[in-house]
Structure 1
Amino acid sequence: MAKREVDIVVISDVHLGTYGCHAKELLKYLKSIKPKLLVLNGDIIDIWQFSKSYWPEAHMKVVRRILKFVTDGVPVYYLTGNHDEMLRKFADFNLGTFQLMNKVVLNIEGKKAWIFHGDVFDVTMQHSKWLAKLGAVGYDSLILINSFVNWVLTLFGRPKMSFSQKVKAKFKDAVKFINQFEQTAADLAVDKQYDYVICGHIHHAEIREIASTEGTGSVTYLNSGDWVESLSALEYHDGNWKIFRYRPEDFMALPESEDDDTTDTEDLKSRLDVNILLEKFRQEHH
């Protein structure tokens, strides 16, 4: 299966280490593309809910695939989010083509793109972190129950359903929060004279032009969605942005050999030595 060439790929809210993560689907997607630049925009590994008892091989394969991009010379930006916020103390760390940052501004064909996770706009995050963490655990439990229900529905040939999306649809406040989040991001981006503002965090994939509340201009707002419900990413190619949405039928033709993890672990170790990585951390942050 020929890999699809993409100039830029932006992925966020993968939540590796949780039951809701669709690691197998993400792995298929990552194996199907040949990006020139990869941006991991926060909450890739869910350190909040990380448990040694739950780290499936599929989740490790996603990490290996990302490292494969790095060893192949593809620039990879890992931008921190709230669920992996403990990495923020290592911001500005880099190793080869891998860079760990809190935010980044990219020049994309003469236009400035401001990219960050977006939890800075979340009032719950700022003032009641314990409440946000409690909500995250509840959300993950809902996804776990939803997965079981969908398994039963599939068994009986019935279409799948999303509990969390139905819950969100019932509450006008959820829609209001999303709109406020998008408007706040747009207002700040216009004020800073950026052309694009790219976020994650709210698990709602979107591309739209938003005018500032003060009428001083507009900006293209983009959100990569997530790999828990939406299974979406942002792609930039040939001067255009689009939202990629994973559909199982698009990957049916993928040969079994391609679907397996074919990463040469020894090759990765020799080219991205973990000991060198740890030593570099110690040198730069002690």
Structure 2
Amino acid sequence: MAKREVDIVVISDVHLGTYGCHAKELLKYLKSIKPKMLVLNGDIIDIWQFSKSYWPETHMKVVRRIMKFITEGIPVYYLTGNHDEMLRKFTDFDLGTFQLLNKVVLNIDGKKAWIFHGDVFDVTMQHSKWLAKLGAVGYDTLIILNSFTNWLLTAMGRQKMSFSQKIKAKFKDAVKFINHFEQTAADLAVDKQYDYVICGHIHHAEIREVHATDGSGSVLYLNSGDWVESLTALEYHNKSWTVYKYHPEQFGAENEAEDDDKTDAEDLDAKLDVKTLLERFRQESH
């Protein structure tokens, strides 16, 4: 199947290493596209909750696919988030077409795009990091319970449900109001005279023009959503931004025998022991 060409792809909040991560679906998406640039906008690997006992092969395949983009000469920016904040001590790492940064400003067809994860706006992150981590663990437990419940509902021929979405429906507006996430991002972007501000973090895909609070201008605010529930990405092609939403019917039956995830380097897993490396990051953070 021919790969779909895209100028820029932005994904965030994948949370590799957690039960809620839809790595299999993300892998199908990554295999279906031919991007000219890939931006990984934070929380790609969930080092907060990482455990060597849970690192499925599909999660490693996502890492391999990203490595494949790099070996093909495709620029890949990894921007750190709060769940992979341990990587911030290595920022400004540059390896060929791969860069590890906290934020980046890109010139996109003559317009300036300010891209960062967005946790800097989160009041909970700034003042109660232990509470945020506790909430993340609780969320992952909720995903496990939700998966079991949906297995039972499917077996009974009933429709699946989402515990976390129901909970967020009750509290999300309050959290947004406290943090003023989108407005704060837009106000700062207008002040810096950027055309786009691109974030992740809040797991809510969005593209909309936001006016500065003081009326000094406006900016196009974009959010890439997540690969835990929304299964969304941002795509830029032919000078236009769109939100990509994963739909399983877009993909044919998976050929388990086909595995082109390995990079040009032989035996990537042997050379890059991701599980050991992540465990070390997690231990050093305590």
Do these two structures clear the TM 0.5 threshold for a shared fold by scoring above it?
Answer: yes
Q: Which runs of structure 2 are paired with 1:90-105 in the superposition (5 Å)?
A: 90-105=90-105
Q: Which runs of structure 2 are paired with 1:36-51 in the superposition (5 Å)?
A: 36-51=36-51
Distance in 2, Cα, partners of 1:127 & 1:264: 42
Q: Which runs of structure 2 are paired with 1:125-144 in the superposition (5 Å)?
A: 125-144=125-144
Distance in 2, Cα, partners of 1:184 & 1:174: 14
Matched, 1:76 2:73: no
Q: Which runs of structure 2 are paired with 1:267-286 in the superposition (5 Å)?
A: 267-269=264-266
Residue number in structure 2 paired with 1:9:
9
Distance in 2, Cα, partners of 1:83 & 1:32: 27
Distance in 1, Cα, partners of 2:11 & 2:241: 13
Kept after mapping to 1: 8 A contact 2:79/2:101: yes
| Percentage of matched positions with identical amino acids | 78
Residue number in structure 1 paired with 2:255:
256
Of residues 165-174 and 208-217 in structure 1, the stretch that sits farther from structure 2 once superposed is 165-174
**Cα deviation 1:24-58 (Å, max 9, x = unaligned):** 00000000000000000000000000000000000
Kept after mapping to 2: 8 A contact 1:168/1:174: no
Matched, 1:173 2:174: yes
TM-score (norm 2): 0.90
Kept after mapping to 2: 8 A contact 1:13/1:201: yes
Residues paired across the two proteins, number = 272
Shift of 1:152: 2.1
Q: Which runs of 5+ in 2 are unaligned?
A: 278-286
Shift of 1:263: 2.6
Q: 1:199 to 1:242 in 2, by over 3 A?
A: same
Matched, 1:213 2:213: yes
Residue number in structure 2 paired with 1:122:
122
Kept after mapping to 2: 8 A contact 1:224/1:243: yes
Of residues 144-153 and 123-132 in structure 1, the stretch that sits farther from structure 2 once superposed is 144-153
Matched, 1:31 2:28: no
Kept after mapping to 2: 8 A contact 1:40/1:78: yes
Distance in 2, Cα, partners of 1:234 & 1:78: 15
Q: Which runs of 5+ in 1 are unaligned?
A: 279-286
Shift of 1:270: 8.4
